[in-house]
Amino acid sequence: MDDDRVSLPRRARMLAWRARVAAVRNRLVRPVGERQAFAAGRRALRVLLVGSGPVVGWGVGSHDLALPGGLARALAAATDRGAVVDVVPHPSAGVRRLGRLLDAAGPERYDAVVLSATIPDAIRMAEPARWETHLRSLLTRAHTAERTVIWLGAQPIRSIRSYDSAAGAIAQEHAERLNAIARRVCRETGTHFVPLGAPPRGDSGRHRTPADYLFWARQIADVLAPALQEHAVRRADPAVDASDRVGAIERLKLSGRRGDARLDEIVGTAKRTLGTDIAMFTVLDDQKEWPLASTGSVLQSIPIEQSACIHTIQTADGMVVPNAVEDGRFAGSSLVTGPAGLRYYAGYPVEAPDGTRIGALCVFGRSPREREEGEADLDVLRELALLAQRELWRWSPDS
């Protein structure tokens, strides 16, 4: 094979094999449900996975068992921080499609972006010179903000049982060529290249297993964790525009929603676990805040000017008010000075599927608390808020 083109005979030989590969993939289990996984911990890192290959999760039924879940757990173990990993999978995405997927995902919200697209392009026998041009353009765009960017090299294609054939050997040879190009382009663009190895073969006979994804997740975390620590990445909290919230609420059709048993259970757990007087899952449009679920309160809505959650959704990691009478933002509120007599507040933001912060899981108490106790409460609220967020996403027309 020369340096500039893939021979026509090889292209022709691969056409029939590509059809067989497509037939195999159509029979495989793929993750369903929320395209997110998380691991407990403070100052949670946010990572975006985009693309094809191992990002898709072939062979397992949830993203918790696939690469997002494995990476969240591996990062948390390596950094002593929490991790939230969102995923935008596309079964056949090559490098040309990846740019559109990345832009649509809103990469400015993330500490790191992990991209994968080599295997479909290797199977399609993508022209190396053109592939390099597209890859360089993509990685340059991915670096337009301060974030860590990782490119995943193709794992050995013949390590996939159903692809272990003579045609698979041709695809693997081409993947190795694309990997060599990617390694060089990554070096030149400041991108981290992670060459995924072949997972140890078990006896299950399955296409891929949770153990395979954890194996790759650890390889990625070995590169990603020190890169994030070296650059001490802290993303700026984007301004939360009221019109964006209104649009996200309309898409989820939340204005008429009431009485979800799962949300009621999560809110009840927050109140019992944290020992507060009130717990709510709130939504905020441009004028008011109202609860989708609550316990300990009969409040229907409040003007947004009186909302504590409006301040919470301006943060990435939640907010604590140990004693509202000592906080100038809330000391004059009727919820503090009036019969409710609220003093303590803790809340963690909840996002719509597009990343817009539209509400919060929050608790209120009539007695003040120490800030250290409030920070510990945030650890609980974070995990419950992410569960509430998953429930909310089930209501999305696109879910």
**pLDDT tens, position by position, 121-163:** 998 889 999 999 999 999 998 987 778 999 999 988 888 777 7
User: Is a pLDDT exceeding 80 seen at residue 397?
Assistant: no
91 Ramachandran zone, left/alpha/beta (phi>0; psi -120 to 50): alpha
**pLDDT tens, position by position, 106-121:** 888 899 999 999 999 9
pLDDT level of residue 6 (50, 70, 90 thresholds)? low
Is the entire prediction scored with pTM above 0.95? no
Tell me the pLDDT of the chain averaged across its residues: 86
Rounded to 10°, the helix 8-26/166-189 angle is: 100
Q: Is 76 within 8 Å of 40 (Cβ atoms)?
A: yes
Predicted local distance difference test score (pLDDT) of residue 100:
93
Q: Which of 331, 336, 323, 322 is nearest to 376 (CA)?
A: 322
User: Is a pLDDT exceeding 70 seen at residue 26?
Assistant: yes
Predicted local distance difference test score (pLDDT) of residue 343:
94
With DSSP H G I counted as helix, E B as strand and the rest as coil, what are the percentages for the chain, rounded to 5?
45, 20, 35
User: Is a pLDDT exceeding 50 seen at residue 4?
Assistant: no
User: Is a pLDDT exceeding 70 seen at residue 234?
Assistant: no
What does the pLDDT average to over 203-225?
86
User: Is a pLDDT exceeding 60 seen at residue 235?
Assistant: no
pLDDT level of residue 171 (50, 70, 90 thresholds)? confident
213, 216, 222, 228: CA torsion to nearest 10: -70
Predicted local distance difference test score (pLDDT) of residue 178:
96
**pLDDT tens, position by position, 53-101:** 999 998 888 999 999 999 999 999 998 888 889 999 999 999 999 999 9
What does the pLDDT average to over 353-372?
91
